[in-house]
Chain A
Protein backbone atom coordinates (compact mmCIF):
# COMPACT_ATOMS: atom_id res chain seq x y z
CA UNK A 1 0.00 0.00 0.00
CA UNK A 2 1.36 3.37 -0.97
CA UNK A 3 1.83 6.17 1.48
CA UNK A 4 -0.99 8.28 0.06
CA UNK A 5 -3.31 5.29 0.03
CA UNK A 6 -2.46 4.62 3.65
CA UNK A 7 -3.29 8.21 4.57
CA UNK A 8 -6.60 8.16 2.71
CA UNK A 9 -7.46 4.83 4.28
CA UNK A 10 -6.74 6.15 7.75
CA UNK A 11 -8.83 9.23 7.03
CA UNK A 12 -11.74 6.91 6.22
CA UNK A 13 -11.24 4.95 9.45
CA UNK A 14 -10.83 8.22 11.32
CA UNK A 15 -14.05 9.63 9.92
CA UNK A 16 -15.92 6.60 11.20
CA UNK A 17 -14.61 7.12 14.72
CA UNK A 18 -14.98 10.88 14.26
CA UNK A 19 -18.69 10.54 13.55
CA UNK A 20 -19.12 8.79 16.88
CA UNK A 21 -17.15 11.51 18.65
CA UNK A 22 -19.29 14.06 16.85
CA UNK A 23 -22.55 12.41 17.93
CA UNK A 24 -21.50 12.25 21.56
CA UNK A 25 -20.04 15.75 21.39
CA UNK A 26 -23.37 17.22 20.22
CA UNK A 27 -25.02 15.49 23.18
CA UNK A 28 -22.56 17.15 25.53
CA UNK A 29 -22.87 20.53 23.85
CA UNK A 30 -26.66 20.29 23.92
CA UNK A 31 -26.54 19.66 27.65
CA UNK A 32 -23.93 22.32 28.25
CA UNK A 33 -25.78 24.95 26.28
CA UNK A 34 -29.25 23.92 27.27
CA UNK A 35 -28.78 23.26 30.96
CA UNK A 36 -25.37 24.73 31.78
CA UNK A 37 -24.03 21.34 32.85
CA UNK A 38 -20.86 19.73 31.55
CA UNK A 39 -21.80 16.07 31.73
CA UNK A 40 -18.86 13.88 32.64
CA UNK A 41 -21.18 10.90 32.86
CA UNK A 42 -21.97 11.00 29.14
CA UNK A 43 -19.57 8.11 28.48
CA UNK A 44 -21.17 5.90 31.11
CA UNK A 45 -24.64 6.81 29.86
CA UNK A 46 -23.67 5.68 26.38
CA UNK A 47 -22.22 2.43 27.68
CA UNK A 48 -25.30 1.71 29.79
CA UNK A 49 -27.53 2.21 26.75
CA UNK A 50 -25.27 0.02 24.66
CA UNK A 51 -25.59 -2.82 27.16
CA UNK A 52 -29.36 -2.48 26.94
CA UNK A 53 -29.08 -2.74 23.17
CA UNK A 54 -26.81 -5.77 23.60
CA UNK A 55 -29.49 -7.52 25.65
CA UNK A 56 -32.21 -6.58 23.17
CA UNK A 57 -30.13 -7.96 20.34
CA UNK A 58 -28.52 -11.08 21.79
CA UNK A 59 -31.02 -11.86 24.55
CA UNK A 60 -34.31 -11.03 22.87
CA UNK A 61 -32.99 -11.61 19.34
CA UNK A 62 -34.76 -8.52 18.05
CA UNK A 63 -34.04 -7.21 14.57
CA UNK A 64 -31.48 -4.42 14.61
CA UNK A 65 -33.79 -1.63 13.47
CA UNK A 66 -36.02 -2.42 16.45
CA UNK A 67 -32.97 -2.53 18.72
CA UNK A 68 -32.06 0.99 17.60
CA UNK A 69 -35.58 2.26 18.18
CA UNK A 70 -36.15 0.58 21.52
CA UNK A 71 -32.82 1.56 23.00
CA UNK A 72 -33.38 5.11 21.71
CA UNK A 73 -36.71 5.24 23.52
CA UNK A 74 -35.49 3.52 26.69
CA UNK A 75 -32.45 5.82 26.83
CA UNK A 76 -34.75 8.79 26.31
CA UNK A 77 -36.58 7.90 29.51
CA UNK A 78 -33.35 7.12 31.35
CA UNK A 79 -32.18 10.63 30.41
CA UNK A 80 -35.37 12.13 31.83
CA UNK A 81 -34.99 10.07 34.99
CA UNK A 82 -31.39 11.19 35.45
CA UNK A 83 -32.42 14.82 35.12
CA UNK A 84 -35.24 14.37 37.60
CA UNK A 85 -33.28 12.43 40.21
CA UNK A 86 -29.80 13.89 39.95
CA UNK A 87 -29.87 17.32 38.37
CA UNK A 88 -33.17 19.05 39.01
CA UNK A 89 -32.12 20.07 42.49
CA UNK A 90 -28.72 21.43 41.47
CA UNK A 91 -29.98 23.71 38.72
CA UNK A 92 -28.47 27.14 39.05
CA UNK A 93 -25.93 25.95 41.62
CA UNK A 94 -22.23 26.61 40.98
CA UNK A 95 -20.48 24.57 38.29
CA UNK A 96 -18.57 22.67 40.97
CA UNK A 97 -21.79 21.16 42.32
CA UNK A 98 -23.11 20.04 38.95
CA UNK A 99 -19.68 18.71 38.03
CA UNK A 100 -19.54 16.59 41.18
CA UNK A 101 -23.02 15.28 40.54
CA UNK A 102 -22.08 14.25 37.02
CA UNK A 103 -18.90 12.52 38.20
CA UNK A 104 -20.81 10.66 40.90
CA UNK A 105 -23.47 9.71 38.37
CA UNK A 106 -20.75 8.31 36.11
CA UNK A 107 -19.35 6.15 38.93
CA UNK A 108 -22.79 4.86 39.84
CA UNK A 109 -23.72 4.05 36.24
CA UNK A 110 -20.39 2.35 35.63
CA UNK A 111 -20.83 0.04 38.58
CA UNK A 112 -24.51 -0.50 37.90
CA UNK A 113 -23.64 -1.58 34.36
CA UNK A 114 -21.09 -4.06 35.67
CA UNK A 115 -23.46 -5.43 38.31
CA UNK A 116 -26.46 -5.75 36.00
CA UNK A 117 -24.53 -7.26 33.12
CA UNK A 118 -20.86 -8.01 33.53
CA UNK A 119 -17.46 -6.41 34.06
CA UNK A 120 -16.08 -8.72 31.35
CA UNK A 121 -15.66 -8.04 27.68
CA UNK A 122 -18.56 -8.70 25.35
CA UNK A 123 -18.72 -8.86 21.63
CA UNK A 124 -21.48 -6.65 20.26
CA UNK A 125 -22.92 -8.06 17.02
CA UNK A 126 -22.55 -5.48 14.22
CA UNK A 127 -25.71 -3.88 12.80
CA UNK A 128 -24.20 -3.94 9.33
CA UNK A 129 -21.83 -6.43 7.79
CA UNK A 130 -18.29 -5.77 8.97
CA UNK A 131 -16.86 -7.61 6.02
CA UNK A 132 -14.17 -5.65 4.27
CA UNK A 133 -14.32 -4.92 0.53
CA UNK A 134 -11.61 -3.82 -1.83
CA UNK A 135 -12.42 -0.65 -3.71
CA UNK A 136 -10.29 1.12 -6.36
CA UNK A 137 -6.94 2.74 -5.50
CA UNK A 138 -6.11 -0.08 -3.11
CA UNK A 139 -8.53 1.13 -0.48
CA UNK A 140 -10.79 -1.02 1.65
CA UNK A 141 -14.24 -0.24 2.93
CA UNK A 142 -16.91 -2.03 4.88
CA UNK A 143 -20.70 -1.68 4.98
CA UNK A 144 -20.42 -0.95 8.68
CA UNK A 145 -18.30 2.15 7.99
CA UNK A 146 -20.85 3.42 5.52
CA UNK A 147 -23.63 2.58 7.95
CA UNK A 148 -21.98 4.44 10.80
CA UNK A 149 -21.24 7.52 8.73
CA UNK A 150 -24.70 7.70 7.15
CA UNK A 151 -26.66 7.13 10.34
CA UNK A 152 -24.53 9.69 12.17
CA UNK A 153 -25.09 12.31 9.51
CA UNK A 154 -28.76 11.50 9.33
CA UNK A 155 -29.08 12.06 13.06
CA UNK A 156 -27.10 15.29 12.90
CA UNK A 157 -29.32 16.62 10.13
CA UNK A 158 -32.50 15.68 11.98
CA UNK A 159 -31.07 17.25 15.11
CA UNK A 160 -30.30 20.45 13.22
CA UNK A 161 -33.87 20.73 11.93
CA UNK A 162 -35.23 19.83 15.33
CA UNK A 163 -33.30 22.69 16.95
CA UNK A 164 -34.13 25.26 14.30
CA UNK A 165 -37.61 24.33 13.18
CA UNK A 166 -39.51 23.01 16.17
CA UNK A 167 -41.07 24.68 19.15
CA UNK A 168 -39.05 22.58 21.59
CA UNK A 169 -35.89 23.40 19.63
CA UNK A 170 -36.73 27.08 19.90
CA UNK A 171 -37.32 26.70 23.64
CA UNK A 172 -33.94 25.02 24.06
CA UNK A 173 -32.15 27.76 22.14
CA UNK A 174 -33.92 30.47 24.13
CA UNK A 175 -33.22 28.76 27.45
CA UNK A 176 -29.56 28.35 26.55
CA UNK A 177 -29.21 32.09 25.97
CA UNK A 178 -31.11 33.31 28.97
CA UNK A 179 -32.99 30.91 31.24
CA UNK A 180 -34.62 33.69 33.25
CA UNK A 181 -35.95 35.42 30.15
CA UNK A 182 -37.13 32.08 28.77
CA UNK A 183 -39.11 31.49 31.97
CA UNK A 184 -40.65 34.94 31.71
CA UNK A 185 -41.74 34.20 28.13
CA UNK A 186 -43.63 31.18 29.42
CA UNK A 187 -41.09 28.48 28.55
CA UNK A 188 -41.45 25.61 31.05
CA UNK A 189 -37.73 25.31 31.60
CA UNK A 190 -37.71 22.19 33.73
CA UNK A 191 -39.42 20.47 30.81
CA UNK A 192 -36.73 21.88 28.52
CA UNK A 193 -33.98 20.55 30.82
CA UNK A 194 -35.66 17.19 30.97
CA UNK A 195 -35.82 17.03 27.17
CA UNK A 196 -32.15 18.04 26.82
CA UNK A 197 -31.21 15.05 28.99
CA UNK A 198 -33.59 12.77 27.14
CA UNK A 199 -32.24 13.76 23.75
CA UNK A 200 -28.60 13.48 24.69
CA UNK A 201 -29.13 10.08 26.30
CA UNK A 202 -31.03 8.89 23.23
CA UNK A 203 -28.54 10.14 20.66
CA UNK A 204 -25.76 8.72 22.82
CA UNK A 205 -27.39 5.29 22.66
CA UNK A 206 -27.19 5.35 18.86
CA UNK A 207 -23.52 6.30 19.02
CA UNK A 208 -22.87 3.42 21.41
CA UNK A 209 -24.62 0.79 19.29
CA UNK A 210 -22.81 1.98 16.20
CA UNK A 211 -19.31 1.92 17.64
CA UNK A 212 -19.44 -1.03 20.06
CA UNK A 213 -19.08 -3.70 17.34
CA UNK A 214 -15.77 -2.12 16.29
CA UNK A 215 -14.51 -2.04 19.86
CA UNK A 216 -14.87 -4.34 22.80
CA UNK A 217 -18.12 -3.83 24.67
CA UNK A 218 -17.27 -3.50 28.34
CA UNK A 219 -17.69 -1.11 31.22
CA UNK A 220 -14.42 0.58 30.29
CA UNK A 221 -15.77 1.68 26.92
CA UNK A 222 -16.90 4.91 28.57
CA UNK A 223 -13.38 6.28 28.30
CA UNK A 224 -13.43 5.95 24.50
CA UNK A 225 -16.76 7.74 24.41
CA UNK A 226 -15.62 10.39 26.85
CA UNK A 227 -12.99 11.47 24.33
CA UNK A 228 -15.89 13.23 22.68
CA UNK A 229 -15.51 15.88 25.35
CA UNK A 230 -12.25 16.79 23.64
CA UNK A 231 -14.16 17.11 20.37
CA UNK A 232 -16.65 19.40 22.05
CA UNK A 233 -13.88 21.58 23.49
CA UNK A 234 -11.97 21.52 20.20
CA UNK A 235 -15.07 22.79 18.42
CA UNK A 236 -15.50 25.51 21.00
CA UNK A 237 -17.80 24.11 23.64
CA UNK A 238 -21.18 25.65 23.02
CA UNK A 239 -21.01 25.40 19.25
CA UNK A 240 -22.90 22.52 17.65
CA UNK A 241 -21.34 22.70 14.19
CA UNK A 242 -18.03 23.05 16.02
CA UNK A 243 -18.72 19.82 17.89
CA UNK A 244 -19.35 17.94 14.65
CA UNK A 245 -16.24 19.29 12.95
CA UNK A 246 -14.20 18.85 16.13
CA UNK A 247 -15.35 15.24 16.41
CA UNK A 248 -14.46 14.32 12.86
CA UNK A 249 -11.15 16.17 13.00
CA UNK A 250 -10.27 14.42 16.24
CA UNK A 251 -11.14 10.99 14.85
CA UNK A 252 -9.07 11.54 11.74
CA UNK A 253 -6.05 12.98 13.54
CA UNK A 254 -6.12 10.24 16.13
CA UNK A 255 -6.06 7.58 13.43
CA UNK A 256 -3.31 9.20 11.42
CA UNK A 257 -1.18 9.56 14.52
CA UNK A 258 -1.88 5.99 15.52
CA UNK A 259 -0.69 4.79 12.13
CA UNK A 260 2.53 6.69 11.86
CA UNK A 261 3.62 7.16 15.46
CA UNK A 262 4.13 4.79 18.39
CA UNK A 263 0.91 3.67 20.01
CA UNK A 264 1.59 5.32 23.38
CA UNK A 265 1.42 8.66 21.59
CA UNK A 266 -2.01 7.73 20.25
CA UNK A 267 -3.11 6.88 23.78
CA UNK A 268 -2.34 10.33 25.14
CA UNK A 269 -2.95 12.27 21.95
CA UNK A 270 -6.54 13.38 22.55
CA UNK A 271 -5.84 14.41 26.12
CA UNK A 272 -2.85 16.45 25.01
CA UNK A 273 -5.14 18.09 22.47
CA UNK A 274 -7.56 18.87 25.30
CA UNK A 275 -4.85 20.54 27.36
CA UNK A 276 -3.46 22.35 24.34
CA UNK A 277 -6.82 23.72 23.24
CA UNK A 278 -7.77 24.86 26.71
CA UNK A 279 -4.46 26.61 27.21
CA UNK A 280 -3.91 28.05 23.75
CA UNK A 281 -7.35 28.52 22.15
CA UNK A 282 -9.97 28.24 24.88
CA UNK A 283 -12.68 29.48 22.53
CA UNK A 284 -12.04 26.40 20.35
CA UNK A 285 -11.56 26.29 16.61
CA UNK A 286 -15.08 27.31 15.70
CA UNK A 287 -16.29 28.76 18.93
CA UNK A 288 -17.73 32.21 19.14
CA UNK A 289 -17.22 34.55 22.01
CA UNK A 290 -19.74 33.40 24.56
CA UNK A 291 -22.20 35.46 26.46
CA UNK A 292 -21.59 34.87 30.09
CA UNK A 293 -24.45 33.22 31.87
CA UNK A 294 -25.56 35.42 34.71
Chain B
Protein backbone atom coordinates (compact mmCIF):
# COMPACT_ATOMS: atom_id res chain seq x y z
CA UNK B 1 0.00 0.00 0.00
CA UNK B 2 2.74 2.42 1.01
CA UNK B 3 6.21 2.16 -0.43
CA UNK B 4 9.01 4.38 0.76
CA UNK B 5 12.19 4.00 -1.27
CA UNK B 6 15.54 5.56 -0.41
CA UNK B 7 14.23 8.71 1.22
CA UNK B 8 16.76 11.37 2.17
CA UNK B 9 15.56 14.42 4.04
CA UNK B 10 17.38 17.40 5.45
CA UNK B 11 16.13 19.49 8.31
CA UNK B 12 17.91 22.72 7.55
CA UNK B 13 21.45 21.46 7.17
CA UNK B 14 20.96 18.43 9.37
CA UNK B 15 20.69 15.09 7.67
CA UNK B 16 17.53 13.69 9.24
CA UNK B 17 16.87 10.69 7.01
CA UNK B 18 19.76 8.99 5.24
CA UNK B 19 18.14 6.69 2.76
CA UNK B 20 15.11 5.13 4.40
CA UNK B 21 13.15 2.38 2.69
CA UNK B 22 10.02 0.93 4.18
CA UNK B 23 6.90 -0.91 3.17
CA UNK B 24 3.41 -0.99 4.64
CA UNK B 25 0.94 -3.66 3.50
CA UNK B 26 -2.78 -2.99 3.32
CA UNK B 27 -4.51 -3.85 6.57
CA UNK B 28 -1.34 -4.18 8.62
CA UNK B 29 0.11 -2.31 11.55
CA UNK B 30 3.75 -1.38 11.02
CA UNK B 31 5.82 0.01 13.87
CA UNK B 32 8.82 2.31 13.58
CA UNK B 33 11.01 2.16 16.65
CA UNK B 34 13.97 4.18 17.67
CA UNK B 35 15.35 6.73 20.07
CA UNK B 36 14.67 10.43 20.04
CA UNK B 37 16.13 12.09 16.98
CA UNK B 38 16.37 8.89 14.99
CA UNK B 39 14.22 10.44 12.26
CA UNK B 40 10.92 8.72 13.01
CA UNK B 41 8.81 11.87 13.03
CA UNK B 42 10.65 13.18 9.99
CA UNK B 43 9.58 10.07 8.13
CA UNK B 44 5.92 10.68 8.95
CA UNK B 45 6.20 14.37 8.07
CA UNK B 46 7.73 13.39 4.76
CA UNK B 47 4.94 10.95 3.98
CA UNK B 48 2.19 13.44 4.82
CA UNK B 49 3.86 16.10 2.71
CA UNK B 50 4.81 18.54 5.45
CA UNK B 51 8.42 18.32 4.33
CA UNK B 52 9.78 17.15 1.04
CA UNK B 53 12.71 14.80 0.74
CA UNK B 54 15.73 15.72 -1.30
CA UNK B 55 15.94 12.20 -2.70
CA UNK B 56 13.84 9.08 -2.92
CA UNK B 57 10.26 8.16 -3.66
CA UNK B 58 7.10 7.65 -1.71
CA UNK B 59 4.33 5.68 -3.40
CA UNK B 60 0.83 5.26 -2.05
CA UNK B 61 -1.37 2.75 -3.83
CA UNK B 62 1.03 2.91 -6.76
CA UNK B 63 0.89 6.69 -6.94
CA UNK B 64 3.93 8.91 -6.42
CA UNK B 65 3.15 11.35 -3.65
CA UNK B 66 6.44 13.18 -3.15
CA UNK B 67 5.90 16.82 -3.99
CA UNK B 68 2.15 16.66 -3.40
CA UNK B 69 0.86 19.20 -0.90
CA UNK B 70 -0.42 17.94 2.46
CA UNK B 71 -4.03 18.80 1.60
CA UNK B 72 -3.87 16.58 -1.50
CA UNK B 73 -2.26 13.78 0.44
CA UNK B 74 -5.12 13.77 2.98
CA UNK B 75 -7.55 13.58 0.11
CA UNK B 76 -6.02 10.40 -1.28
CA UNK B 77 -6.36 8.72 2.10
CA UNK B 78 -3.41 9.37 4.37
CA UNK B 79 -4.12 10.97 7.72
CA UNK B 80 -1.35 12.05 10.07
CA UNK B 81 -1.71 12.31 13.85
CA UNK B 82 1.31 14.51 14.48
CA UNK B 83 3.72 14.68 17.36
CA UNK B 84 2.31 16.80 20.16
CA UNK B 85 -1.26 16.26 18.91
CA UNK B 86 -1.56 19.70 17.26
CA UNK B 87 -5.19 20.28 18.10
CA UNK B 88 -7.05 23.52 17.47
CA UNK B 89 -6.99 24.83 21.05
CA UNK B 90 -9.76 27.42 20.69
CA UNK B 91 -12.11 25.03 18.92
CA UNK B 92 -14.38 22.73 20.86
CA UNK B 93 -13.96 18.97 20.73
CA UNK B 94 -16.79 18.80 18.20
CA UNK B 95 -15.29 21.56 16.04
CA UNK B 96 -11.95 19.75 16.05
CA UNK B 97 -13.65 16.59 14.86
CA UNK B 98 -15.54 18.52 12.19
CA UNK B 99 -12.22 19.97 11.01
CA UNK B 100 -11.04 16.40 10.63
CA UNK B 101 -13.78 15.90 8.05
CA UNK B 102 -12.78 19.11 6.22
CA UNK B 103 -12.12 17.35 2.91
CA UNK B 104 -15.40 15.46 2.96
CA UNK B 105 -18.86 16.29 1.78
CA UNK B 106 -22.15 14.86 2.99
CA UNK B 107 -23.29 15.84 6.46
CA UNK B 108 -25.12 12.54 6.99
CA UNK B 109 -22.01 10.42 6.53
CA UNK B 110 -19.94 12.77 8.66
CA UNK B 111 -22.52 12.53 11.45
CA UNK B 112 -22.40 8.76 11.29
CA UNK B 113 -18.63 8.85 11.62
CA UNK B 114 -18.88 11.19 14.59
CA UNK B 115 -20.96 8.51 16.32
CA UNK B 116 -18.26 5.96 15.53
CA UNK B 117 -15.57 8.19 17.06
CA UNK B 118 -17.75 8.73 20.13
CA UNK B 119 -18.14 4.97 20.41
CA UNK B 120 -14.36 4.53 20.33
CA UNK B 121 -13.81 7.38 22.77
CA UNK B 122 -16.97 8.00 24.85
CA UNK B 123 -15.18 10.70 26.85
CA UNK B 124 -15.06 12.89 23.72
CA UNK B 125 -18.82 12.77 23.52
CA UNK B 126 -19.06 14.00 27.10
CA UNK B 127 -16.63 16.78 26.39
CA UNK B 128 -17.88 17.76 22.94
CA UNK B 129 -18.68 21.37 23.78
CA UNK B 130 -15.47 21.95 25.71
CA UNK B 131 -12.47 23.68 24.20
CA UNK B 132 -9.73 21.29 23.15
CA UNK B 133 -7.25 23.17 25.31
CA UNK B 134 -9.18 22.18 28.43
CA UNK B 135 -8.74 18.45 27.87
CA UNK B 136 -6.29 16.23 29.71
CA UNK B 137 -3.32 14.81 27.82
CA UNK B 138 -5.01 11.47 27.25
CA UNK B 139 -8.21 13.08 26.05
CA UNK B 140 -6.23 15.30 23.71
CA UNK B 141 -4.54 12.26 22.22
CA UNK B 142 -7.92 10.59 21.75
CA UNK B 143 -9.23 13.72 20.07
CA UNK B 144 -6.19 13.88 17.79
CA UNK B 145 -6.78 10.28 16.73
CA UNK B 146 -10.52 10.82 16.37
CA UNK B 147 -9.96 13.94 14.31
CA UNK B 148 -7.58 12.08 11.99
CA UNK B 149 -10.13 9.29 11.54
CA UNK B 150 -12.81 11.78 10.52
CA UNK B 151 -11.17 12.08 7.11
CA UNK B 152 -11.78 8.33 6.63
CA UNK B 153 -8.15 7.52 5.96
CA UNK B 154 -6.96 4.32 4.37
CA UNK B 155 -3.62 4.81 6.10
CA UNK B 156 -3.25 6.35 9.54
CA UNK B 157 0.15 7.75 10.54
CA UNK B 158 0.55 7.91 14.30
CA UNK B 159 3.37 9.78 15.99
CA UNK B 160 4.01 8.58 19.55
CA UNK B 161 0.44 8.24 20.73
CA UNK B 162 1.67 7.08 24.13
CA UNK B 163 3.95 10.02 24.85
CA UNK B 164 3.48 11.47 28.33
CA UNK B 165 0.37 9.47 29.12
CA UNK B 166 -0.47 7.24 32.10
CA UNK B 167 -0.11 3.49 31.41
CA UNK B 168 -3.84 2.89 31.83
CA UNK B 169 -4.70 5.59 29.30
CA UNK B 170 -2.13 4.21 26.89
CA UNK B 171 -3.62 0.75 27.23
CA UNK B 172 -7.04 2.13 26.38
CA UNK B 173 -5.74 3.99 23.34
CA UNK B 174 -3.90 0.92 22.07
CA UNK B 175 -7.02 -1.18 22.46
CA UNK B 176 -8.87 1.27 20.25
CA UNK B 177 -6.03 1.30 17.73
CA UNK B 178 -6.39 -2.47 17.39
CA UNK B 179 -10.12 -2.01 16.78
CA UNK B 180 -9.51 0.70 14.21
CA UNK B 181 -7.09 -1.59 12.43
CA UNK B 182 -9.46 -4.54 12.63
CA UNK B 183 -12.11 -2.41 10.96
CA UNK B 184 -9.84 -1.88 7.98
CA UNK B 185 -7.53 1.08 8.56
CA UNK B 186 -3.86 0.44 7.92
CA UNK B 187 -1.58 1.95 10.57
CA UNK B 188 2.00 3.18 10.47
CA UNK B 189 2.98 3.72 14.08
CA UNK B 190 5.99 5.61 15.36
CA UNK B 191 6.73 4.75 18.94
CA UNK B 192 9.58 5.11 21.41
CA UNK B 193 8.04 2.56 23.69
CA UNK B 194 9.20 -0.57 21.89
CA UNK B 195 7.34 -3.07 24.05
CA UNK B 196 4.09 -1.30 23.36
CA UNK B 197 4.68 -1.02 19.64
CA UNK B 198 5.74 -4.62 19.27
CA UNK B 199 2.63 -5.73 21.12
CA UNK B 200 0.41 -4.38 18.37
CA UNK B 201 2.41 -4.38 15.14
CA UNK B 202 2.92 -7.05 12.55
CA UNK B 203 6.14 -5.68 11.16
CA UNK B 204 8.70 -3.38 12.64
CA UNK B 205 11.53 -1.13 11.57
CA UNK B 206 14.24 0.12 13.89
CA UNK B 207 15.65 3.57 13.12
CA UNK B 208 19.03 4.70 14.33
CA UNK B 209 20.24 8.19 13.37
CA UNK B 210 18.27 8.36 10.17
CA UNK B 211 18.84 4.80 8.97
CA UNK B 212 16.95 1.56 9.22
CA UNK B 213 19.21 -0.79 11.15
CA UNK B 214 16.91 -3.77 11.64
CA UNK B 215 13.55 -4.67 10.17
CA UNK B 216 11.29 -7.64 9.83
CA UNK B 217 8.37 -9.51 11.33
CA UNK B 218 7.69 -8.84 14.96
CA UNK B 219 8.60 -12.40 16.08
CA UNK B 220 11.98 -12.01 14.40
CA UNK B 221 12.52 -8.62 16.01
CA UNK B 222 11.65 -10.03 19.39
CA UNK B 223 14.35 -12.68 18.90
CA UNK B 224 16.95 -10.17 17.79
CA UNK B 225 19.74 -9.82 20.33
CA UNK B 226 20.41 -6.14 19.60
CA UNK B 227 16.77 -5.16 19.94
CA UNK B 228 16.30 -7.13 23.13
CA UNK B 229 19.24 -5.33 24.67
CA UNK B 230 18.75 -1.83 23.30
CA UNK B 231 14.97 -1.49 23.23
CA UNK B 232 13.39 -4.08 25.44
CA UNK B 233 15.87 -4.00 28.31
CA UNK B 234 16.46 -7.72 28.40
Q: Do A and B come from one complex?
A: yes
Binding site for B on A (CB under 8 A): 170-171, 173-174, 177-178, 180-189, 291
Residue from A174, A177, A186, A291 within 8 A of B75 (CB atoms): A186
List the B residue with the shortest CB-CB distance to A175.
Answer: B88
B37 at the interface (CB under 8 A from A): no
6 tightest A-B contacts by CB? A186-B103, A186-B74, A181-B86, A183-B70, A186-B71, A185-B102
Cβ–Cβ contact A174 & B69, under 8 A: no
Min Cβ gap B186→A in Å is: 17
B204 at the interface (CB under 8 A from A): no
Min Cβ gap B96→A in Å is: 9
Residues of A within 8 A of B50 (CB): 180, 183-184
Question: B68-82 CB contact bits vs A (8 Å, 1 = yes)?
Answer: 011100110001101
Residues of A within 8 A of B48 (CB): 184
- Please, could you name 30 A-B residue pairs with CB atoms under 8 Å apart, sorted by A? A171-B102, A173-B88, A174-B88, A174-B91, A174-B99, A177-B89, A177-B91, A178-B87, A178-B88, A180-B50, A180-B86, A181-B86, A182-B99, A183-B49, A183-B69, A183-B71, A184-B50, A184-B74, A184-B148, A185-B74, A185-B100, A185-B151, A186-B71, A186-B74, A186-B75, A186-B102, A186-B103, A188-B71, A291-B89, A291-B90
Given A173-B90, A184-B79, 14 extra CB contacts under 8 A: A170-B99, A173-B88, A174-B88, A177-B88, A178-B88, A181-B99, A183-B50, A183-B71, A185-B151, A186-B70, A186-B103, A186-B151, A188-B69, A189-B71
Min Cβ gap A180→B in Å is: 6
The docked-state distance in angstroms from the alpha carbon of A186 to that of B49 is 11
Min Cβ gap B37→A in Å is: 18
Known: A170-B99, A174-B88. A184 touches B69 (CB 8 A): no
B54 at the interface (CB under 8 A from A): no
Tell me whether chain B's interface is mostly helix, strand or loop, or mixed: loop
Cβ–Cβ contact A180 & B133, under 8 A: no
The docked-state distance in angstroms from the alpha carbon of A187 to that of B100 is 10
Binding site for A on B (CB under 8 A): 48-50, 69-71, 74-75, 79-80, 82, 86-91, 99-100, 102-103, 133, 147-148, 151
Min Cβ gap A84→B in Å is: 16
Min Cβ gap B86→A in Å is: 4
Residue with the highest number of chain B CB atoms closer than 10 Å, among A170, A171, A180: A180
Min Cβ gap A48→B in Å is: 31
Known: A180-B50, A291-B89. A185 touches B133 (CB 8 A): no
Cβ–Cβ contact B102 & A187, under 8 A: yes
List the A residue with the shortest CB-CB distance to B90.
Answer: A177
The docked-state distance in angstroms from the alpha carbon of A228 to that of B167 is 52
The docked-state distance in angstroms from the alpha carbon of A18 to that of B88 is 32
Min Cβ gap A278→B in Å is: 24
The docked-state distance in angstroms from the alpha carbon of A189 to that of B80 is 17
Cβ–Cβ contact B74 & A181, under 8 A: no
Cβ–Cβ contact B86 & A184, under 8 A: yes
Residue from A171, A186, A291 within 8 A of B133 (CB atoms): A291
List the A residue with the shortest CB-CB distance to B104.
Answer: A186
List the A residue with the shortest CB-CB distance to B80.
Answer: A184
The docked-state distance in angstroms from the alpha carbon of A8 to that of B67 is 61
Known: A174-B99, A186-B151. A181 touches B75 (CB 8 A): no
